[in-house]
Structure 1
Amino acid sequence: MDKKEIQSFSLSRLLEDHELRPGDLYYDGCLIASRVDSQCDIHTDLFSYPVRMDAIALVFCSKGSITLTSNLTRQVLGEHALYINLPGSIFQVESMEGAELHAAICEKEFIQRINVDLKLLSRLFLRLERQPLLQLDDEQWQEIMRSFDEISRERTRYLDDAYSAEILRSAIRMLIYKVSRIIDRYSECPHTEQDAHSPRNRQEEYFQRFMNVLTQHYTQERSVGFYASQLNLTPKYLSTLIRKTTGRTASEWIDDYVILEAKNLLKYSTMSIQEISYSLNFPNQSFFGKYFKNHTGQTPSEYRMSR
């Protein structure tokens, strides 16, 4: 590894460097693993220098501690702590002291495939950017461990039938939503140390206002200009604010909402593709098909058949 560069790696790269152990689960872009023996084997050259991982990682520390740097901030995970790594975040493992860990590492595409509602998750991203380390109380910890136990049980009795895959997806989706609820409860706490009139807080306020308007109008409006006008901003200024606050453009947020809604309708509704295109305010089925394929690599028909 070139120590002068910040390396990026995927979940598949992680699996190349670390063989699965008995009890580990890799399923369709998600790795569930526990390291609760005397030898935790994740501190290798892959993590010894700053790296980016193109996946969402939920790391729970049940015993001991692990010290790492996340986006230039030093974090120490102690007992019953949760660290959340968002895709693109830079982190580095500094040391471990008798660490026993449970982890769920999910590719973004996996999150979308199991139909986790991104509208519910999007407003949590800013909270994680400020503080990716959370301390769980006993009740929260036990609830999370029950989810890991449920996933483990489903793994051992997994059958090649029409139900096992959906049961397993539901168990993993439940874990993600439980973590989201914990993050949301932390988000409700006031941050008195921050100046409410600071530029950063104003940016976050505009982002929240943008998301509120987006959740109301995304099925009918895909233009950045529309959302800018709703906030009394110019399109350029809105785009600048959203990128500074989230690292993503306003257009990317809009497209994610539209595509997720289209996928849900294609999978769960009996609407025709033409009806779906009209419900999302596309001028015709052809335009909708091109838009959908541009963002997913599949036509609406191919996506519907693949589910």
Structure 2
Amino acid sequence: MNEKEIQSFSLSRLLEYHELRPGDLYYDGCLIASRVDSHCDIRSDLFRYPIRINALALVFCSKGSITLTSNLTHRQLSEHTLYIHFPGSILQVDPIEGVELYAVICEEEFIRRINVDLKLLSRLFLRLERQPLLQLDDEQWQEIMRSFDEISHERDLYRDDAYSIEILRSAIRMLIYKVSRIIDRYSECPHTEQDVHSPRNRQEEYFQRFMNVLTQHYTQERSVGFYASQLNLTPKYLSTLIRQTTGRTASEWIDDYVILEAKNLLKYSTMSIQEISYSLNFPNQSFFGKYFKTHTGQTPSEYRMSR
């Protein structure tokens, strides 16, 4: 891939920015980080601006709190909460202080290699696509911590032999399935027939369909009319539904996604501003510059140079 086109961070590329600390474990496409606190060498500048991460991440907050933005939605992790980052989502993190985290970051191929049913996992995790933050009770938290302790213990005993490899793989697989069980229990929320067909749920369904189309086409399409036609609705009706569901217009959602991608490209690619404008389907650099400044208060050059 051309260097200019890279705007997503794989796990291996993240590790180029963050050296492993004592106590961290990187194994075959999976990073286990225990008790990461704000006094350690965390290069938060990497996450100060929007960044797309192509890996599944499970982040557990054991102390303090941290605020992050995932695909335009603000989340706050507090004590004993679990946050799930879906591959390809764009993440931005506020400056952190006084917080302790545990994290598991897995490449998709690693999950396959340890024989976790990826289709089952994907269906389960997608239940939390709009609310990927869970509050764990004491029993759930202690069970997760026992898994981290077990992985840490196996890391210390690890020898490069078939037995150690399989024990470590099993311990990581166990942690993933424990998280899956917690998600499954949280998502057990049966609806009555009346609930399913309520106006509110229909609005939610249209909003989800709108977001699915938006995430596929926002780099090329900025017209509400395009998205309305994809959903077989009129632009006016789509805008009304989105505003009633989220309090924001369809145009605002579209613009925010375009700006988020533009910020990502300006900070983490070597594409010129003209190349970025063309990649986002603007007719020219001038039009892109005016659009960007209208929504951010800065020109693309000013944003690229900001720290």
Q: TM-score range by the shorter chain?
A: 0.5 to 0.7
Q: What is the Cα deviation at residue 25 of structure 1?
A: 0.4
Q: What is the Cα deviation at residue 101 of structure 1?
A: 0.5
TM-score under structure 2 normalisation? 0.61
Checking the alignment, whether the CA contact within 8 Å between 2:44 and 2:95 is kept in structure 1 is no
Residues 118-167 of structure 1: per-residue CA shift (max 9 Å, x gap): 23212223222111111100000000000000000000001122211011
Which 10-residue stretch deviates more, 186-195 or 58-67? 186-195
In 2, the alpha carbon distance for the partners of 1:174 and 1:152 equals 14
Q: What is the Cα deviation at residue 57 of structure 1?
A: 0.5
Q: Work out which of the residue numbers 202, 217, 235 in structure 2 matches 1:197.
A: 202
Length, aligned pairs only: 203
Q: How does 1:29-108 map to 2 (within 5 A)?
A: 29-37=29-37, 39-108=39-108
Residues 24-53 of structure 1: per-residue CA shift (max 9 Å, x gap): 100000000123556143352211011110
Higher relative contact order (CA 8 A, sep 6+): 2
Which AA in structure 2 matches 1:72? L
SS in 2 for 1:67: strand
Q: How does 1:181-260 map to 2 (within 5 A)?
A: 181-189=181-189, 195-198=200-203, 200=205
Which AA in structure 2 matches 1:106? C
Q: What is the Cα deviation at residue 201 of structure 1?
A: 7.1
Judging changes above 3 Å, is the alpha-carbon distance between structure 1 residues 37 and 51 closer, same or farther for their aligned structure 2 residues?
closer
Q: Does 1:119 align with 2:124?
A: no
The aligned counterpart of 2:10 is: 10
Which AA in structure 1 matches 2:151? I
Q: How does 1:287-302 map to 2 (within 5 A)?
A: none
Gaps of 5+ in 1: 205-236, 238-307
Judging changes above 3 Å, is the alpha-carbon distance between structure 1 residues 160 and 194 closer, same or farther for their aligned structure 2 residues?
farther
CA-atom RMSD in angstroms: 2.8
Q: What is the Cα deviation at residue 79 of structure 1?
A: 0.2
In 2, the alpha carbon distance for the partners of 1:203 and 1:87 equals 18
The aligned counterpart of 1:27 is: 27
Gaps of 5+ in 2: 210-230, 232-307
Q: What is the Cα deviation at residue 13 of structure 1?
A: 1.1
Residues 177-230 of structure 1: per-residue CA shift (max 9 Å, x gap): 0111111111113687983334617989xxxxxxxxxxxxxxxxxxxxxxxxxx
Q: How does 1:249-288 map to 2 (within 5 A)?
A: none
The aligned counterpart of 2:143 is: 143
TM-score under structure 1 normalisation? 0.61
In 2, the alpha carbon distance for the partners of 1:131 and 1:14 equals 25
Checking the alignment, whether the CA contact within 8 Å between 1:6 and 1:52 is kept in structure 2 is no
Judging changes above 3 Å, is the alpha-carbon distance between structure 1 residues 107 and 194 closer, same or farther for their aligned structure 2 residues?
farther
In 2, the alpha carbon distance for the partners of 1:150 and 1:110 equals 19
Which AA in structure 1 matches 2:80? H
Checking the alignment, whether the CA contact within 8 Å between 2:17 and 2:43 is kept in structure 1 is no
SS in 2 for 1:185: helix
Which AA in structure 1 matches 2:184? D
Which AA in structure 2 matches 1:197? R
The aligned counterpart of 1:261 is: none
Which AA in structure 2 matches 1:175? L
Judging changes above 3 Å, is the alpha-carbon distance between structure 1 residues 56 and 83 closer, same or farther for their aligned structure 2 residues?
same
In 2, the alpha carbon distance for the partners of 1:66 and 1:40 equals 15
Residues 239-260 of structure 1: per-residue CA shift (max 9 Å, x gap): xxxxxxxxxxxxxxxxxxxxxx
